[in-house]
Structure 1
């Protein structure tokens, strides 16, 4: 026999003599506790359902000990912001052992009645649509050549990208061919402490279409710093 029961806000499938870890209970260690919010009881092919709980059903258990679960690390990071927060959490738990499952007064769910499917109605003949006037095609706009989005390089913001474009560096390939010292000289008037050592290498990876490798590397950078 098994049952599905709600314990401390969580649902568990339990059987007799089974040990279960649940959210911390207020019952002291060694004391017995009963749970009456039983949603389902199964005994072989005989299944009893609740609506939502089974009237009169009960699961008896004994509290073995109180403990804390494994530590979970929660790490948050915001790119280009210098924001990093690391927290740890250990959930308070109680270990219980199921001693009994009773279904006295339980009401069995009525078997579902088979419903006949309605015969499909004959589809009405479709009316022929009136011919639509051919829409005038708008003259296609000439494609304009645009540079690459240099802000995809870790450490480059809108102001730096604008400064590089003004200096004639508009694509990843052009940025990759530019020396880091030359880049620092171009953006010397932009406020902030900018480290350009990795920018040419990042731009080369972007120009080669290696976005997955670039993304993995950028996650390890901090404002372009290795």
Structure 2
């Protein structure tokens, strides 16, 4: 198990109990520090952050504050008589990684995810079943009724064969008339009769009646 973490502007690969030197950190020797900008983790599987892996932190203990070896910086310009020599010692902090935490929470999150997904599916299925129950019968089975007429009847509260069977020819035509000349010309004489056969489950008799009709007309 290891992680790639950003500490004081630089990225380090860290493991449990590892000691390393980083740019100077605030805090006293023996103090605890924590870093939450974890860019990648490997713990059986690899997780890449975008940009950081949420929920994972790297904990460490400050062992010492010190300075790195001196680096000589020498500058010279040819034929200008310019020479300059400087030295630099970078301030560092030595830390020891005491733990990489958050993996247990990740495991719990993964375990909970399938359950949440299952509940979401159930939640989706319930409205679908409810919607299906509200949909009613397919009124386009009736000879002379197309999808547009069926939609007009559903909007008027006629959603089943039983609803249609209760309506008279005049009532059905009164529902259709406001929708234009094409609907005024429709003949609803046999629609209630056909609907009653469909409501009673007498599909053979309904088909025999439909074979005798032409566009719903006798």
TM-score normalised to structure 1 length:
0.46
Bigger Rg over Cα: 2
TM-score normalised to structure 2 length:
0.47
User: 1 or 2, which has the higher helix percentage?
Assistant: 2
